[in-house]
């Protein structure tokens, strides 16, 4: 499968989503079958991998040779990628994931990303990221509003937690970190992975 993670918005968790979905797939299907592809000139995922001591899966530039040897590619893109470049990635893709926070400032560009790509015929799913922890109901309310608007949104959302700052600085995913906050976070990614890959693997 080829999954592209993209949105016009910056800082909405695209790279974090790509890293954690790749980690989920590596755990489930074997590290050798998965590559995380960094198609952002900022090289967020390549830098993240370089800070870690040996990821369980390859993290490669989109220019790398041999990408076709992997069963699964998770492709991280820049915010507001060049439409020709994104079109090229989506031509080969099975699924587009569009992360967005529950803020209207991010939702509007996320919906615009979706509308702009409908013509390409690739299946797209929204994912709510950086959601305030309970007791905030904002994520749940946003999910309901998106469903009412018939936007294809995943049921599992991702909570904002400090452990992501440790994950980014140590080149790990939250499933590799100790502590309750990290383990709760990894449970969210596993549930999200099950939801995304149900009937797709």
Ligand X SMILES: Nc1ncnc2c1ncn2[C@@H]1O[C@H](COP(=O)(O)OP(=O)(O)OP(=O)(O)O)[C@@H](O)[C@H]1O
Footprint of ligand X on this chain (CB under 6 A)?
10-16, 40, 44, 79, 129-130, 158, 160-161, 164-165, 168
From CA 103, how far away is CA 20, in angstroms rounded? Answer: 22
- Residue 17 makes contact with Mg ion by CB under 5 A: no
Smallest distance, ligand X to C-beta of residue 8, A:
9
Smallest distance, Mg ion to C-beta of residue 14, A:
5
Instruction: Name the residue nearer to Mg ion (CB basis): 125 or 168.
Output: 168
Residue 63: name the closest of 75, 81, 79 by CA. 75
Partner from Mg ion, ligand X, none binding residue 16, C-beta < 5-8 Å depending on class: ligand X
- Residue 15 makes contact with Mg ion by CB under 5 A: yes
- Residue 9 makes contact with Mg ion by CB under 5 A: no
Q: Give the three-class secondary structure for 38.
A: strand
Residue 201: name the closest of 63, 81, 34 by CA. 34
Instruction: Name the residue nearer to ligand X (CB basis): 82 or 201.
Output: 82
Give the Å distances, CA to CA, from 90 to 13, 81, 118, 140: 19, 12, 11, 29
Q: Give the three-class secondary structure for 178.
A: coil
Helices (H), the chain: 14-29, 44-51, 83-91, 104-117, 138-148, 163-170, 180-197
Smallest distance, Mg ion to C-beta of residue 121, A:
25
Smallest distance, ligand X to C-beta of residue 160, A:
4
The one-character DSSP state at 57 is S
Instruction: Name the residue nearer to ligand X (CB basis): 90 or 127.
Output: 127
- Residue 14 makes contact with Mg ion by CB under 5 A: yes
Residue given tokens 């009412």 in the structure block:
148
Smallest distance, ligand X to C-beta of residue 161, A:
5
Residue given tokens 């995380």 in the structure block:
36
| Residue span 35-64 as binding mask against Mg ion, x where in contact by CB under 5 A, dash where not | ---------x--------------------
Instruction: Name the residue nearer to Mg ion (CB basis): 14 or 72.
Output: 14
Q: Are 55 and 19 in contact (CB under 8 A)?
A: no
- Residue 129 makes contact with Mg ion by CB under 5 A: no
Residue numbers at the binding site for Mg ion (CB under 5 A) = 14-15, 44
């Amino acid at each position: 499968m080829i999954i592209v993670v993209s949105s016009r918005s910056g800082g909405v968790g695209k790279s974090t989503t790509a890293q954690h979905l790749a980690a989920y797939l590596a755990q489930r299907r074997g590290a050798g079958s998965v590559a995380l592809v960094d198609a952002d000139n900022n090289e967020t995922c390549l830098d993240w991998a370089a800070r870690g001591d040996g990821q369980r899966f390859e993290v490669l530039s989109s220019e790398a040779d041999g990408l076709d040897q992997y069963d699964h590619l998770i492709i991280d893109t820049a915010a507001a990628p060049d439409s020709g470049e994104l079109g090229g990635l989506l031509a080969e893709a099975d699924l587009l994931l569009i992360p967005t926070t529950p803020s209207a400032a991010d939702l509007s560009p996320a919906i615009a990303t979706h509308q702009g790509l409908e013509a390409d015929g690739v299946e797209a799913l929204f994912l709510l990221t950086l959601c305030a922890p309970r007791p905030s109901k904002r994520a749940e309310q946003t999910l309901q509003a998106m469903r009412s608007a018939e936007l294809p949104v995943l049921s599992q959302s991702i909570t904002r937690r400090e452990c992501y700052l440790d994950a980014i600085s140590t080149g790990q995913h939250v499933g590799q970190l100790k502590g309750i906050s990290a383990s709760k976070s990894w449970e969210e990614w596993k549930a999200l992975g099950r939801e995304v890959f149900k009937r797709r693997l």
